[in-house]
Structure 1
Amino acid sequence: MGRSKHTIHNRLFLLFLSSMTALLLIGSFLYYQKITDIIHGKISDMAEKNISQTAGLFNLLLEGYNSVTKSLNSNYELLRLLQERDKSQNPSLSVIDERTITNIIGAIYFSRDDIVGIHVISRAGKSYHYEPRYAGVVDVDYSSSEWYRKLQDSNGEMVWMGLFRNSVINSFQEDPVFVFGRKLFDLTSQKEQGVVLIETKPGPILAALSNVTISPNSQVYIVDKDSHVIASTDDKKVQTLRFGQLPRPRNGQVLVDNRSDQLIVAANAAMAEWTVYGLTPKGDISAEVDKTRQYLLYVILILVLISTALATLISRNIASPLKLLIREMKQVEMGNFRGSVNVKSFEEINSLVSSFNRMVNRMDDLIDGITSASISEKNAQLQALQSQVNPHFLYNTLDMIYWMLDERENDRLGRVVLALSHMFRYSSDWQEASRTTLEQEIDQMRHYMTIIESRLEGRVHTDIQVDSRWLNVVLPKMTIQPIIENAVKSGLEPLDRPGVLRVYTEVDERELHIVIADNGVGMEEWMLQQIRESLADSGTNRNKDEEEKGKGRAFTVKNAELPDQPTRRGIGLPNVHRRIKLMFGDYYGLRIESQSGIGTTVTIVIPLPGKGGEEWTFS
């Protein structure tokens, strides 16, 4: 019973089921967290945007109301008539002045569609009203009312009373109104002339408040600087809320606070020193999240059931052929190579079984093949070691000739043989791969020029001015010698005057230039162009006919040959150019300038070693 828990079937079943369940739970959890963050973030952004827009609407709306009162206070005719009527003793003239004042107030009334009534009370207590429905009906005890006291206590600034269920001055006006007013002053004498009270329709205020709501249970409140409610969308909860304890935004900022059981957003309406609060229960915000969570639970349950069924099916289909395979492997372990397994399962298992059958049938052949391969590898290594004897024999022979010449005091020929020995040793020793240093290339060049200067009997002079800072810079092996060889054979040998071959280094921004310049015969423009084209095409695959194009021209023929041609005489400029590009990149390589009768300059361009350039030098 204990062994059954460790069978392939049970292990695959548990592994598959646990993996699927873990992935489902992790994926669902991450999805739920992401959706929750997105929903809360979008709601917070929407609430912040709405409250900011609402505060702006209030500022615009109150600015318009403020303009109405300013137009009354700045009306010189109105203020003059109020003074004259307070002092007038002539009844007929008083009637005319009252009618004129009423007409002035009426003009202001019809300037806006949302004004319900305009009431002006002079300093002497005479009142003037314009409201079409109940004109002239005024509470006689208005002087003891709260709104009148607030206007009398003000210094001329706007006094925003807020929303009321009905008119504060006319008991017959029972519709809700928004009330505000201010004192009237003579702008010339700065004397008080009375007060003006304006009642407007609450529609614009309530419409702006409804813009803040983000759920059916959201409530919006307008609170003044003393934490008194000016207006709200829910009168039932106003008494239970303590707005003095709620945070207030500062400096025109929008406040978003979700630390309590409600999402609180607030913004200031600077025109009236109001604060607009929007309160939304978090339960409303989480409604969509709860639906998402419930949906995820159903999906997870269904997927777990499906995973259980799939785990059972897959583990059984995988385990059955593997059991057969294991049983046959035990036979092979005991030395029986004649058995075979026949199953029909997944393609991979069928391939595994087929491979096992082939392995069993060919075991002896593979053992014999491995033995033969081991013997062949050892023979190859032995031949490689033997092949190294021949170059050393040639080095030793050249050295022997040098010492024989030295004994006969033939220094000139001895130097040539010794230089040839060094050149041959350098060019045939590729155990260090294809990388070398500029110093070693210069040494190889000196050996070559020893032979050339001896052969040309002083007709060629070499001037080497290489900065010691760049001697350890890494180059492809055999980079300079092919260029020197071409310069000597194609440029300096045909001269009827002494030739000079200069080798020096230059720095151009992030490039190191190794310049080989001669004062030889130079090249015609067409020949120079052909060489440049061969360098540009050196990284492409070309056939033999293209490589031998221009045959008979000494400089271009030899340099157009690919390095893997068996008939080549040298490595060639295209080969050098391609190897530089392979080592340092396509931007680097050879650059050639030449003028007929003046000379040729070949510049080797490589990257300048920087702070990280140690990898380009040999230690």
Structure 2
Amino acid sequence: MARGFRSIHSRLFLLFLTCMTAILIIVSFLYYSRSLDIIHSKISDIAQKNISQTAGLFDLMLEGYNSVTKSLNGNYELTRLLQETSSNPAVSVINERSITNIIGATYFSRKEIVGIHIITNAGKVYSYERQFGGVININYEQTEWYLKLKASSGNMVWLGFYPGSLVNKMQQDTVFVFGRQLYDLTDYKSIGMIIIETDPAPITEALSNVSISPGTRAFITGKDDHVIASKGQQEAKWPVFTELPKPSKAHEIMVDDESDQLIVAAKTLLADWTIYGITPKSDLNAEINQTRLYLAIVVLVLIVVSTALASLVSKTIASPLKLLIREMKKVELGNFSGSVNVNSFDEINSLVSSFNRMVHRMDELIDRIKLSSVSEKNAQLQALQSQVNPHFLYNTLDMIYWMLDEKENERLSRVVLSLSQMFRYSSNWGEASQTTLGQELEQIRHYLTIIETRLDNRLETEIEVSEQWLDVILPKVTIQPIIENAVKYGLEPLGIPCKLQVSAEQHNHELHIRITDHGMGMEEETLRQVRASLEMNSTLAIEPLNQARRGIGLHNVHARINMMFGEAYGIHVESQKGQGTTVIVVIPIPLQGGAWR
């Protein structure tokens, strides 16, 4: 580790990476701080704008409700009828119907009105509402809302949200209630009170405008800090409003973000209401967290890019030196054939050129020494080879053939001639290690001449191959080893006349050459071992020099077919004990022009 740190590559890499990382951290910190200030400022502005709009919306809404009560209080006919008393039942019925019609006209003036109730000082109750026939609360004079209205002096009293109607016990839907005392405008004498119940949805929807996050809680409080309406929290968890900031005048906005909550408050103009919006800082940090995550991802990506750049820069400078060191180590191991090609600084280029010239001169000297040594060995080999020259053997076998032919020993002469042709064929590897199927079959016929003579004509052979396949290319000495195995292990041990068949047939783009003997066959275990051996690595193994030569076997043939055509080709073995063995040689059929199918 210490040695690696002392290298040029490592030091340049660490220096560049440290500088880039420091710059990234400083820039990221400044960006994050600035983004945080902008987000806080933006959220505060949005909260103030929302609560200001909500206060203005409530002023418009309360102005409309106030107009409704004023229209009833200013109706001369209504105030007259409420004060008129008559002993005639018919007149009383007509008066009550007229009062109901006046109230109904006001009821239908605004769609959010649920019910309008007028309670006179004489205790009579007139109502117009969605659900008629309700049961009037006979104890209304002891209720809190009644006492509040009774104590007022004609101004609007905003009573707030109630779970049901204050007058009609049958009405159980939540309502927003407000009212005022009803006066006779002639002598300004109180004649009763008006209670109006409305659908709370408009107030709730307006209060929702305060929210700036899902966790925002919104409240409307009255003059004595009692909650008129709320959204977002149960009553048991309401904050202590006396401890919260409170605006001193209408439309004034107060902001408090010193605690773990952002609190904004505004005051309405018509009613002594204070609107609060309370948002947890954890909700506000959602956008900050996204910014932090985005920044972290960007920093990580930039660090990875910086690491790649640091590695590239340091590698560009250190690579020529590393390459030179690697080639020097090869020279130490005796490899003088390499050279270093770099395009770097002038000093390094000069050093590399000197090294290449030195290695080249050393390589030339070694080649001269090798040539001298090889010349001596070649002279010795040529002397030995002349003693066993193949042409000498061909000529000798031909001479024996003619001597036997003159003595009319035809059978033995055929054997000698076949042996001569086999030796000539198998020893001629000068051009290539491949041949045609026709040449291979001709070689087989010479081999079978010798075998049939040796077995005293106990072997019957049948070769059926169409002429169209005679030009197909295959490795030299492919079929002869298979026939040799068939004769040695399948036919000869029987000691009776046997039959051997060689045929060829096309299967799609492959040529299947079948060599079938009707001999002993193989046990299942032996067949399994043979197939497993063929499925192993097909690389030809070189036999040790101290082992006896066993000829070319199935594994050798299969490996050479693999190397020539690919692993899709080779030999397959089928056998059954007592029935014989079939070896199938699979090779490709060439297309026109010499390409394989």
Normalising by the residue count of structure 2, what TM-score does the alignment of the two structures yield?
Answer: 0.52
Give the whole-Å Cα distance in 2 for the aligned partners of 1:228 and 1:350: 88
Q: Tell me if the contact between 1:129 and 1:135 (Cα under 8 Å) persists in the aligned partners.
A: no
Structure 2 equivalent of residue 218 of structure 1: 216
- Structure 2: distance between partners of 1:245 and 1:132: 41
SS state at 2:193 partner: strand
Give me the whole-angstrom Cα distance separating, in 1, the residues matched to 2:221 and 2:318. Answer: 74
Secondary structure class of the residue paired with 1:286: helix
Aligned ranges 1:395-410 → 2 under 5 Å: none
Verify: 1:59 aligned to 2:25, yes or no: no
Separation of aligned partners in 1, 2:136 and 2:235 = 32
| Contact 1:74 1:187 (C-alpha < 8 Å) held by counterparts | yes
Task: Give the residue type in structure 1 aligned to 2:214.
Answer: P
1:134, 1:173 within 8 Å by CA — same for their partners in 2? no
Equivalent position amino acid for 1:73 in 2: N
Q: Distance in 2 between matches of 1:235 and 1:215?
A: 14
**What SS does structure 1 have at the residue aligned with 2:292?**
helix
Deviation at residue 235 of structure 1 after TM alignment: 4.6
Q: 1:435-474 residue pairs with structure 2 within 5 A?
A: none
Spell out, residue by residue over 1:34-87, the C-alpha distance to the aligned partner (whole angstroms, 9 max, x if none): 3322322222211111110000000000000000000111111111111113xx
CA distances 1:336-365 after superposition (whole Å, capped 9, x unpaired): xxxxx99514xxx579989xxxxxxxxxxx
Which of 76, 87, 90 is the equivalent residue of 1:89?
A: 87
Q: CA deviation at 1:293?
A: 1.7
CA separation of 1:135 and 1:271: change in aligned 2, threshold 3 A: farther
Displacement of 1:216 in angstroms is 1.2
Alignment of 1:334-349 (within 5 A): 344-345=343-344
**Structure 2 residue aligned with 1:175:** 173
1:139-161 CA-partner distances (Å, limit 9, x unpaired): 11111111111100111110000
Q: Does the C-alpha gap of structure 1 residues 352 and 209 become closer, same or farther in structure 2, counting only changes over 3 Å?
A: farther
* Per-residue deviation, residues 115-148 of structure 1 (Å, max 9, x unmatched): 1000001111111111131245321111111111
Alignment match, 2:270: 271
Give the match for residue 430 of structure 1.
none
Mapped contact 2:134–2:170 kept (Cα < 8 A): no
| 1:125 paired residue number | 123
Shift of 1:192: 0.6
**1:441-590 correspondence to structure 2 within 5 Å:** none
Are residues 352 and 264 of structure 1, via their aligned partners in 2, closer, same or farther at CA, if it must alter by over 3 Å? farther
Give the direction of change, closer, same or farther, for the CA distance of 1:2–1:112 in structure 2 (3 Å limit).
closer
The amino acid of 1:158's aligned partner reads M
Counterpart-to-counterpart distance in 1, 2:274 and 2:128: 32
1:64 maps to amino acid: G
Aligned counterparts, 1:181-260, within 5 A: 181-237=179-235, 239-251=237-249, 252-260=251-259
Question: Match of 1:224, as an amino acid?
Answer: G
Q: Which of structures 1 and 2 has the bigger CA Rg?
A: 2
Q: Deviations over 1:208-250 (max 9, x none)?
A: 0111111111110001121100000135155541011000123
Which residue matches 1:295? Answer: 294
Tell me by how many angstroms 1:164 deviates.
1.3
Root mean square deviation of aligned Cα: 2.8
2:310 is the counterpart of 1:308: no
Q: Report the CA distance between 1:32 and its aligned residue.
A: 2.1
Whole-Å separation in 1 of the counterparts to 2:268 and 2:347: 78
How many Å separate the matches in 1 of 2:115 and 2:291?
Answer: 52
* Distance in 1 separating the partners of 2:242 and 2:217: 17
What is the SS of the residue equivalent to 1:221? Answer: strand
Mapped to 1, the partners of 2:348 and 2:285 lie a distance apart of 54
State the Cα distance separating 1:300 from its structure 2 match.
2.5
Counterpart amino acid of residue 62 in structure 1: L
Aligned to 2:21: 21
| Residue in 1 that maps onto 2:155 | 157
8 Å CA contact 2:217–2:233 kept in 1: the answer is no
Question: CA deviation digits over 1:472-511, x for unaligned, max 9?
Answer: xxxxxxxxxxxxxxxxxxxxxxxxxxxxxxxxxxxxxxxx
Write the deviation string for residues 514-567 of structure 1: whole angstroms up to 9, x where unpaired.
xxxxxxxxxxxxxxxxxxxxxxxxxxxxxxxxxxxxxxxxxxxxxxxxxxxxxx
In the TM superposition, residue 267 of structure 1 has moved relative to its aligned partner by 0.8
Unpaired runs of at least 5, structure 1: 325-340, 355-619
Shift of 1:91: 2.0
- Equivalent-residue separation in structure 1 for 2:276 and 2:102 (angstroms): 38
Give the letter aligned to residue 123 of structure 2: G
Deviation at 1:255, TM superposition (A): 1.6
Identity of aligned residues (%): 59
- Flag the 1:282–1:239 CA change in 2: closer, same or farther, 3 A: closer
Contact 1:222/1:277 (8 A) holds in 2: yes
- Against the structure 1 CA distance between its residues 351 and 95, is the aligned structure 2 distance closer, same or farther, given a 3 Å change threshold? farther
The answer as to 2:114 corresponding to 1:138 is no
Taking structure 1 as the reference length, the TM-score comes to: 0.51
What per-residue deviation string (whole Å, max 9, x for no partner) do you get for residues 162-206 of structure 1?
011211211110111000000011112011110000000001100
| Paired residue secondary structure (2:263) | strand
For the 8 Å contact 1:12–1:311, the answer to whether it is kept is yes
Structure 2: unaligned runs, 5 residues or longer: 324-339, 351-597
1:147 aligns with 2:140: no
Alpha-carbon contact 1:163-1:177 (below 8 Å) kept = yes
Give the drift of 1:27.
2.2
CA contact (8 A) 1:159 1:180 kept: yes
User: How many pairs does the alignment contain?
Assistant: 335
Contact 2:215–2:232 under 8 Å retained in 1: no
Contact 2:134–2:169 (8 Å) recurs in 1: no
User: In the alignment, residue 291 of structure 1 is paired with which amino acid?
Assistant: Q
User: 1:114 pairs with 112, 115, 119, which one?
Assistant: 112
Contact residue 51 and residue 265 of structure 1 kept, 8 A: yes
Pair 1:103–1:2, CA change in 2 (3 A)? closer
Taking the aligned partners of 2:317 and 2:248, their CA distance within structure 1 comes to 69
Q: Please give the secondary structure, in 2, of the residue aligned with 1:189.
A: coil
